[in-house]
Amino acid sequence: MTHYQLTGEARPALTPARQMTLRFSGTRRGARLARQLAVQQFAEWTGLPYDSDPARTVALVTAELASNAIRHGSLPGRDFRLALLVLPDHFRIEVTDTRPERLPPPVPPQPADETSGRGLLIVQAYADRWGHTARDAYTKTVWAEVRLCPTVS
């Protein structure tokens, strides 16, 4: 539940069967397809069912990141990129858009009467950790990691 900004963070070396990158149109349809693909790949790669709590978390976090990319990080005619990676204990979701100057703000508590602006609060609540990187002058990536097996308390 911690927000990290890990500039220059290197991705771990993974086998091709455990990572995927695709581009989607910067539309609501693109965001919906990204969410559906993320859940499908999560279930296929981990063997966990579609209706498991981690799969639902992947759906929710992917939907929020894709929605934010379209709403706040999109330029007309530009797509966003979705990358999915299986790490040893986590499933990593990365959404890259074309607005590196529009970094995610720190997540303040939202007043109860606000009708929008809760997306990053949802990501913070459900992801084990999340952050953003801007590796060049043309793109930024907002990422989140979902624990594969929920902790037992």
Q: How many structural domains compose the chain?
A: 1
Both tokens of residue 119?
């997306």
The structure tokens 């992947």 sit at: 58
HSE (side-chain half, CA atoms, 13 Å) at 46: 28
The answer to whether position 109 is within a domain reads: no
HSE (side-chain half, CA atoms, 13 Å) at 126: 24
Residue-level pLDDT at 103:
74
- Domain range holding 121? 18-103+117-147
The answer to whether position 84 is within a domain reads: yes
Q: For the domain that residue 33 is a member of, what is the CATH number? A: 3.30.565.10
DSSP string, 84-118: EEE-SSEEEEEEEES-TTSPPPP-PPPPTT-SS--
The answer to whether position 4 is within a domain reads: no
The answer to whether position 10 is within a domain reads: no
Taking 70 as the pLDDT cut, the residues of the chain under it are 1-17, 105, 107-117, 150-153
Q: Per residue in 122-143, pLDDT tens?
A: 898 999 999 999 888 888 999 9
The answer to whether position 122 is within a domain reads: yes
Please give the model's pTM, rounded to 2 decimal places: 0.81
Both tokens of residue 68?
């934010």
